[in-house]
Copies of this chain bind each other. A is one copy, B any other.
Amino acid sequence: MPQYKAPLNEVFFLLNDVFGLKSLQSLPSFSDLSADLVEQILIQAAKLCEETLAPLNASGDRIGCVRDAGGRVVAPPNFKAAYRAFAEGGWVGLPVPEEYGGQGLPYTLSMLIDEFASSANMALAMYPGLTQGALAALLRHGTQQQKLLYAPKLAQGRWTGTMNLTEPQCGTDLGLLTTKALPRADGSFSITGQKIFISAGEHDLTENIIHLVLARIEGAPAGVKGISLFIVPKILVNENGELGARNTVSCGAIEEKMGIHGNATCVMNYDGAQGFLLGEANRGLNAMFVMMNEARLGVAVQGLAQSEVAYQNAVSYAKDRLQGRALTGVKNPDKNADPIIVHPDVRRMLLEIKSFNEPARALAFSAAIDSDIVHHSSDPQARLAAEDRLGLLTPVMKGVFTDIGFENCVKAQQVYGGHGYVREWGMEQFVRDARIAMIYEGANGIQAIDLVGRKLPRENGRAVMAFFKDAGDILSLHANNALMNDYVLPVQESLDHLQKATVWLMNNAISNPDNAGAASYDYMHLFGRVALGVMWVKIAHAALVKKAQQTELTQVMDSKLLIGKFYMERMLPETAYRLIRISSGAVTMMSMPVEMF
């Protein structure tokens, strides 16, 4: 069975050496955040994820969720107790303000813990993950009364949340949705329609579930401008907070799917269910986007999380499995074969994974700090800049982390040879679970078009220009440090590719929008490679500093410098190829007649 250890040392290095705790302490809400407290929180979370969540991952996959004829859904054995431990630890509402039942701690911490939980048990971690998304929308758009009624129970994990967008005829294109909301005399609405692919739509982990549902108020305009967001509790909540009547919402079926079997993917039937408008009428997409942006970061972290746990197990197997001899001579003379980690191609696979995991965690960390700045900084300029960065990088992270996270699971599985294909070793589950992250919360092609079609042009490219400036500043900062040449020079070259690609888009996408669509996926990946490269520059510099300070860490820091160099030599040069693909434009693909495919 696979093992998992939370990468605490990596996280502490990012926190203390790469970004510094001061990046959080400088925000008024967190000025008294101590290194000790942060360390304790992370150690406790790691322990829970390792000891309580991880052991249920394989059995959760094998047994899955079961729906009975009455529409009740039972989560896999022991999920309820594990979930309760997670909720009672205060982990669900970590970043929620204390007045709404949370801990008032930085989102950055919450995101780090999300990674641990997703590595340990992705299907189980989705229950609090979706709740966090629902909380974000509720706290941003809810009335004070709504917030007080729902948020504390959600933040304490006593209830969970869901998001209901998709319908059979309507996935990406939300303008097509037909779920109806009829006004009732008391100001609430009757919601009727069918939603599909609703993660955690029904389960037995908590006594109530708060569904956030997109629907169309009778008479609303067609398309996306006529969509509103509703709070639809599974069990209605009285004004005093007590549970009342069962609402007319039910789980009609659960999907049989490739993975994440521990989390029921539900068909939800709303049959005149009572719902409460959240935010403004006909502005539901805006409200939902708050939830979705948060959720997209969370999904990006799932990609990293699966890559991390798959990596850990592949390393362990590569050290244990004896097979063949090193090309340069016997390494293990006492045994009849060497461990396969002596083979260059096995190292290649492992380093391709690890050279992603480290900067991806750094990038997620940096995005989480930006999220904390957006919510807590008193400086409007800083908030705006952070919001720009977050807007720009969220689709990049969601698309790139989940694509590469999946590929990395496939690579880690490959290290096991035939053993990777059989269920017993657990590697194939990581592959199956990781696959969904490329699809949900907006398939990765949608992330790419969000990046190129919306995030880039916004405010005349303000966000991307700021990204170029920041990246350029970091490179300039280290330009005269010869020890940094191995990192600065390749990133400079790839940044140049990204800038060329951006100029190409500016010059070609307006005349023909298909050029934007045809370039979008490669542009997203080009952006991701560069953004990860910039993180490597930061990590490499922090490693050099640390090494000079604490010589007992020399080997650890040297290994970071090596992995970074591997990234520069083998992963980053992909940017030139992406630029060629982007510049090839849309003509060839759009010339194909539909019937000739």
Contact = CB atoms under 8 A, between A and B. Distances in A.
A592 interface: yes
B445 A421 contact: no
Given A173-B324, A406-B410, A570-B580, 20 more contacts: A170-B323, A197-B418, A255-B424, A258-B421, A265-B422, A328-B512, A343-B445, A344-B514, A344-B517, A345-B521, A348-B521, A351-B589, A351-B592, A414-B443, A421-B435, A421-B436, A428-B435, A562-B592, A563-B592, A565-B588
Given A343-B517, A417-B172, A439-B414, A422 B255 contact: yes
Interface in A481-520: 512-514, 516-518, 520
Protomer copies: 2
Nearest to A444: B414
Contacts of A256: 422-424
Interface in A160-213: 166, 169-173, 175-176, 196-197
A418 B166 contact: yes
Contacts of A589: 344, 347-348, 351, 566
Interface stretch (A43-51, A359-367, A571-579): A571-579
A10 to B, nearest CB: 13
Contact of A428 (B258, B265, B570): B258
A570 B171 CA distance: 29
A342 B444 CA distance: 17
B418 A596 contact: no
A559 interface: yes
A345 B399 CA distance: 14
Interface string A247-291: 000000001111100000100000000000000000000000000
DSSP majority for the A interface? helix
Contacts of A315: 597
A546 to B, nearest CB: 15
Nearest to A316: B597
Nearest to A520: B345
Interface string A440-476: 1001110011000000000000000000000000000
Contacts of A432: 258, 432
A318 B597 contact: yes
B592 A172 contact: no
A593 interface: yes
